Amino acid sequence: MPKINPDRLLADLRELRRYGACGNGVKRQSLTPVDLESRQWLLEKMRAAGLDASIDAVGNVIGRSPNPGPALLMGSHSDTQPEGGWLDGAMGVIYALEIARALNESADSSHLALDIASWMDEEATFTHFVGTRSFCGLLSEEDKASATNADGVSLADALKAAGYDQFEPARLDLERHIGYLEAHIEQGAVLEADSKRIGVVTAIVGIRSYVLRFEGEQNHAGTTSMPLRKDAGMALFKFASALDEAFREIAAANTVWTVGDARLYPGAEAVVPGVAEMKLQFRDPDDAVLDRFAARLEEFIESFNAAKPVQVSITYARDPIRPALMDESLQQHIVDAAERHAPGNWKRMPSGAGHDAQVYASFLPTAMMFIPSIRGVSHSFEEDTNEADIALGCQVFADAAESILRSRLG
């Protein structure tokens, strides 16, 4: 059995944090100087672990096992939000490195093939899932030219400045890769609230995002009597409040919905707003639930427009993201390993956040594992996880990877 080395694992995580460290957290956005340095560090770590490591055309750092396949692919991301935690993504990358080493160091597993990676720009500094989409052949040259960061620099130019554009793009190899595995911190507080130490992910939620535009009539806030008003602002608040109640009645156990933005125009104290806009998003692991929410929203808009002086129209804020189901057989290997190392201390759960794994799920069997986040905090310098949980998760994931590979070798 592979035996992970918790001290080496934690030392590597702390060493990676030094690139962009900010207190307990990290600032390491994609293709910034510290991100490039950290990729070079990771490349050398992978080589030292005996992997054939390289950086590809979009900056993916990939360590390929010299063993013949079938191989498992395991990874996550090492880029961060503008103000990120030290474990978000980084933990899954260093787990993969440690598990590759542990498999090599154990005589009975050194023949198994684990290919590992840090995927570029999961946090969408330029655009979403750059590394995984490129690896799956879903990122075009136009995508690279049109995606820009907050400073207006295109992804294509940033890759060129980094010198990555001269490298070959690495690609998923379905002759070799039999599955994709990713470990991640939960970034929520479900495991902590349930006193569980391992989460076995069942699905990554689908997302529907909309812009709702309310059109009334802009007018003087002192002289326009209440019966004569067509107040787009009040209409928005009433609509949002009633919709919240209606959604409660049809929600499934894991459905979440958010009005993340609301604006009134022209936005002045003495003006009845003529236009108001809100951004509405809902998420669920089941597409049927998302359809139910979308239908309820449509009904709401119809009856609102029939009855009120203010009219509401709706457009997608971005293309819907479909839920990504995790492979049941791979999940079972994680469950078995969790039960061995933490009996009764694990649970199945959906992921409310997006992850690289959702891209892989449409190409090959895919699974994810979570470990607890203290108080559920993430995308923050305060993000943290108990060291004992970090070590336990890595051993569980190592066992799961080994048993998956053994089962495929027959």
CB atoms within 10 A of CB 137: 11
Q: Does 25 bind Zn ion (CB under 5 A)?
A: no
Q: How far apart are the C-alpha atoms of 39 and 287, rounded to whole Å?
A: 37
Q: Which stretch binds Zn ion (CB under 5 A): 80-88, 200-208, 245-253, 289-297?
A: 80-88
Q: What are the tokens at 38?
A: 């950290």
Which of the ranges 81-89, 107-115, 262-270, 318-326 carries the binding residues for Zn ion, by CB under 5 A? Answer: 81-89
Part of the chain binding Zn ion (CB under 5 A), chosen from 15-23, 85-93, 285-293, 396-404: 85-93
The window from 32-40, 88-96, 251-259, 339-347 that contacts Zn ion (CB under 5 A) reads 88-96
Q: Which of 89, 179, 216, 274 binds Zn ion (CB under 5 A)?
A: 89
Query: What minimum distance in Å lies between the beta carbon of 77 and Zn ion?
Result: 6
Nearer to Zn ion by C-beta: 88 or 231? 88
Q: Which residue type does 291 have?
A: D
* Residue 274, both tokens: 């003529």
CA distance 311 to 307: 9
- φ/ψ of 139, rounded to 5, equals -115, 115
Q: What is the Cα–Cα distance from 356 to 77, expressed in whole angstroms?
A: 8
Query: Contact between 63 and Zn ion (CB under 5 A)?
Result: no
Min dist. Cβ of residue 276 to Zn ion (A): 34
Q: Is 274 in the site for Zn ion (CB under 5 A)?
A: no
Per rule CB under 5 A, is residue 131 in the interface with Zn ion? no
DSSP assigned state of 100:
H
Task: In whole angstroms, give the CA distance from residue 255 to residue 52.
Answer: 43
Our separate counts of H helices and E strands in the chain read 12, 17
Least distance (Å) from Zn ion to the CB of residue 89? 4
Q: What's the closest the beta carbon of residue 373 comes to Zn ion, in angstroms?
A: 11
Binding Zn ion (rule: CB under 5 A), the pick from 35, 79, 88, 384 is 88
Asked if 182 is part of the footprint of Zn ion (rule: CB under 5 A), the reply reads no
Question: 286: how many CB neighbours lie within 10 A of its CB?
Answer: 18
Least Å distance, CB 404 to Zn ion, is 22
Question: Amino acid letter at 364?
Answer: L
Binding positions for Zn ion, rule: CB under 5 A: 88-89
